[in-house]
Amino acid sequence: MPVVTIDSVGQFAGQTVTINGWLYNLREAGKLLFPIFRDGTGTIQGVVSAKENSGAFEALKGLTQESSCIVTGRVNPDARAPGGFELHVETIDVVQRIPDSDPYPIQLKEHGPDFLLENRHLWMRTPRQAAILRIRAQVVHATRNYLDAHGYVLTDAPMFTPAACEGTSTLFEVDYFDEGKAYLTQSGQLYIEATAASLGRVYCFGPVFRAEKSKTRRHLTEFWMCEPEVAYAGLEDIMVLGEHLVSHIVQDVVAHRARELEVVGRDVSKLAAVCPPFPRISYDEAIAVLQKSGKDVKWGDDFGGDEETVLSSQYDRPVIVHHYPAAIKAFYMQPDAERPDRALSFDMLAPEGYGEIIGGSQRIHDYNLLLERIRQHGLSEKAFQWYLDLRRYGSVPHSGFGLGIERTVAWICGTTHIREVIPFPRMLYRIYP
């Protein structure tokens, strides 16, 4: 018997196949049993009749939820069945029966978020969570594919760093042998500015760590970021890359993860609209929009989640906000030649209130200006010698951004909290399991 996955049973209509899976649910109706099996690729309803198949009936009757089992049966097209097929069970081999005395903790009913997070290692088996993890994998795949296909070279940045990019307050500290303190990276950017000067177009893609005490539905302490960096590129170039990359990711998920988007209940028509060009507004315009809508903000303020939601809710696709005040942005951002109080920077805000998914900028390429900024920010000149070297030897204008993977997945899936879109979330008050 061919061993098949549930997502491919359609190719085996009328044939007898074997599925390696788990019992997701069981409905008993007298002499008929209606099990639902899952195997990680989907779910399928089965049917077993006591009259026709007493062996399978006895093996399945009373079988507990999440018991592992190998099922063989005929694939019957059935318009009423979810997925369009039903499994006419012939044999069932129970691999592990979960005893009635110690049932699977997650029943098919509503549970509170704390309970589910405490049981994340089991919670991830539910169809909705499995669908989210598949969509996440597709987002990562699409991100890499797009950049690889457009000449960007993957150059990994280190996780251990000797000094802070932007101050130590949001860094996790570790003891590093005789070298003293090291920090877990919060961005690979500074390092890939070096690899960009070596290779032209590069990106890094890995976990980053932030010790900020944000307890919001958008913040994790460990998350994944994809950071492209491009030599000989200005703000305009990098904004265009951002909108093309994000629309590619969304359309790739729509094309390849339709079933999963349905499982999570996503309105796909909203995602289909996500294609370039994205609307753009300057920070100055954004302030005007916010003031008009009654927000108490003035020029120079940074935007929080509420402001971002007001701005993004005006559009059906992500909006790019550019030219933020230099004072609220990082030390390495290139000032606008006409108005040096503004940085050549941009954020991309996802629609439907999902907030910032990208932060990026053109970087300072002038040695003296960068040195001045390092001093102004009270950063260690010694620690940044190598970074200043990039401005001493063949410096060019260059730009890049960071795309937050979990923010992107949360938006694409329409989840209310970012904790659902990473296998094991790390948050202010959670490091188990």
Cβ proximity to Mn ion, 66 vs 193, nearer residue: 193
Cβ proximity to Mn ion, 218 vs 373, nearer residue: 218
Considering only the stretches 13-21, 268-276, 279-287, 356-364, report the one whose residues sit in contact with ligand ATP under the rule CB under 6 A: 356-364
Residue nearest to ligand ATP (CB): 404
Cβ proximity to Mn ion, 21 vs 359, nearer residue: 359
Q: How far apart are CA 40 and CA 45, in angstroms?
A: 14
Phi, psi torsion values for 193, nearest 5 degrees: -65, -35
Cβ proximity to ligand ATP, 39 vs 307, nearer residue: 307
* Residue 318 tokens, joined: 């992500």
Residue 130 touches which of Mn ion, ligand ATP, none (Cβ within 5-8 Å per kind): none
- Give min distance, CB of 401 to ligand ATP, in A: 7
Residue 425 in contact with ligand ATP, rule: CB under 6 A: no
Among 287, 356, 419, 420, binds ligand ATP (CB under 6 A): 356
Residue 335 touches which of ligand ATP, Mn ion, none (Cβ within 5-8 Å per kind): none
Residue 406 in contact with ligand ATP, rule: CB under 6 A: yes
What does the DSSP assignment read for 267-290?
Answer: -HHHHHT--SSPPEEEHHHHHHHH
| Buried-exposed string 278-293: b where 16+ CB fall within 10 A, e elsewhere | beebebeebbebbeee
Where on the chain is the footprint of Mn ion (CB under 5 A)?
A: 359
- Give min distance, CB of 60 to ligand ATP, in A: 43
Cβ proximity to ligand ATP, 213 vs 259, nearer residue: 213
As a whole number of Å, the end-to-end CA separation of the chain is 38
- Strand pairing class (181-184; 345-350): unpaired
Considering only the stretches 46-54, 67-75, 139-147, 349-357, report the one whose residues sit in contact with ligand ATP under the rule CB under 6 A: 349-357
Q: How far apart are CA 85 and CA 14, in angstroms?
A: 10
Q: How far apart are CA 285 and CA 70, in angstroms?
A: 61
* Residue 172 tokens, joined: 């996790």
What does the DSSP assignment read for 106-138?
Answer: --SS---HHHHHHTHHHHTTSHHHHHHHHHHHH
CA atoms within 13 A on the CB side of 239: 21
Query: Residue 214's closest CA among 433, 430, 427, 432?
Result: 427
3-state secondary structure of 206: strand
Cβ proximity to Mn ion, 35 vs 402, nearer residue: 402
Residue 407 in contact with ligand ATP, rule: CB under 6 A: yes
Cβ proximity to ligand ATP, 225 vs 245, nearer residue: 225
Residues numbered 290 to 329 that lie near ligand ATP (CB under 6 A) are none
Cβ proximity to ligand ATP, 28 vs 306, nearer residue: 306
Phi, psi torsion values for 423, nearest 5 degrees: -55, -50
Give every CB contact of residue 128 below 8 A, 6+ residues apart in sequence: 263, 264
Residue 210 in contact with ligand ATP, rule: CB under 6 A: yes
Among 42, 228, 335, 404, binds ligand ATP (CB under 6 A): 404
Query: Residue 14's closest CA among 78, 80, 57, 70?
Result: 78
- Give min distance, CB of 186 to ligand ATP, in A: 7
Residue 136 in contact with ligand ATP, rule: CB under 6 A: no
- List residues near ligand ATP by CB under 6 A: 210, 218-220, 223, 225, 355-359, 402, 404, 406-407, 418
